[in-house]
Amino acid sequence: MFEQYLSLTHYDIFFFLKAIGMTLWITLVSITIGTLIGIVMGLIRCSKNKIISAIPLIYIEPLRNSPLVTQLFLTYYGLPVVANIVLDAQAAAIITLSLNTGAFFSVLVHSAVKAIPKLQWEAGFALGHNRYSNFKNIIAPQVLRLLIPSAITLYINQLQVSSFVSLISLIDLTKAGHILTLRTMRPFLIYGIVFVLYFAISYPLSKLAQRLEKKVAFNY
């Protein structure tokens, strides 16, 4: 029963480790940049001026409502032809995934700010805060508390979705599994390993998100 493991060499272990490194690197960089974009866009979205608050929608809606694969192909195959911007696979993946994360994150920020009751703002104004210091000292900490669990859920989702970068020839965990499957012809074993690796990364995070969600729940 165990002879099937012999078809895997020690080289394959390093191959998998490198692939995990690639997946984690792409995910971490893109969620970091995406979070920054998302915060900026989400705050613009919260502006009182209706026209200004609608501007980020031009960025958010197309990215949220179209498949990530298309976006990846657009940056990887489309940009060199039209704009003469030649990106290597890794840069294209990071750019696309960060923009994608940013779009989703800005919606989270917007809905978290909207979820804070108006009374909190009014109480702040009554205490003599101006709009900026009110936001910074009273609203933002509460927003952060609401935001963290949903942000972790989004990050887990982005980790899953980062497997799509294997379609633009980047060797991440999915692609490594694909290559090894084609070589060893043992899909159950190889994809079993890939499943376990992805699961081991994202399951603890999702448990953390669930626990935080319970902790954060608060009735105003």
Partner 1 sequence: MYLNFSFLKTFYPMLLQGARLTLIISAGSLVLGFMLGIIVALMRQSKSRLLRFIGSAWVEFLRNTPFLVQLFFLYFGLPELGIHTDPIITSILALGINSSAPNCEVIRSGLLAVKKGYYECSYALGYNSFQTFRYIVLPVSLRLAFKPLTSNFINLVLTSSVVFSITVNDLMGSSKTVAARTARPFEVFIFIMLAYCVFTFVISFVAKAIDRRISITL
- Enumerate binding residues for partner 1 (CB under 8 A): 61-62, 65-71, 73-74, 77-79, 81-83, 156, 159-164, 166-167, 174, 177-178, 181, 187-188, 191, 194-195, 198-199, 202-203, 206
Q: Would you call 147 helix, strand, or coil by DSSP?
A: helix
**Cα gap 177→136, rounded to integer Å:** 46
In whole angstroms, how close is the CB of 181 to partner 1 at the nearest point?
6
* Neighbour count for residue 166 (Cβ, 10 Å): 22
Helices within 46-76 (DSSP H only): 50-64, 68-73
Query: Which single residue is written with the structure tokens 């953390």?
Result: 208
Q: Which is nearer to partner 1, 36 or 63 (CB)?
A: 63
Asked whether 198 and 160 are in contact (CB, 8 A), the reply is: yes
Q: Which is nearer to partner 1, 37 or 190 (CB)?
A: 190
In whole angstroms, how close is the CB of 71 to partner 1 at the nearest point?
7
Residue type, 162: S
Q: Which is nearer to partner 1, 22 or 43 (CB)?
A: 22
Q: Which is nearer to partner 1, 43 or 156 (CB)?
A: 156
Reference 102, options 136, 143, 151; nearest CA is 151
Q: Which is nearer to partner 1, 126 or 217 (CB)?
A: 217
CA distances 95 to 68, 69, 164, 182, Å, are 12, 13, 14, 30
Which parts of the chain are beta strand (E)?
Answer: none
In whole angstroms, how close is the CB of 192 to partner 1 at the nearest point?
8
Q: Which is nearer to partner 1, 58 or 126 (CB)?
A: 58
User: Which residues 6+ apart lie within 8 Å of 147 measured at CB?
Assistant: 108, 109, 112
Query: 50: which 2 tokens?
Result: 């209706």
Query: 117: which 2 tokens?
Result: 């009751």
In whole angstroms, how close is the CB of 77 to partner 1 at the nearest point?
4
In whole angstroms, how close is the CB of 67 to partner 1 at the nearest point?
4
In whole angstroms, how close is the CB of 74 to partner 1 at the nearest point?
4
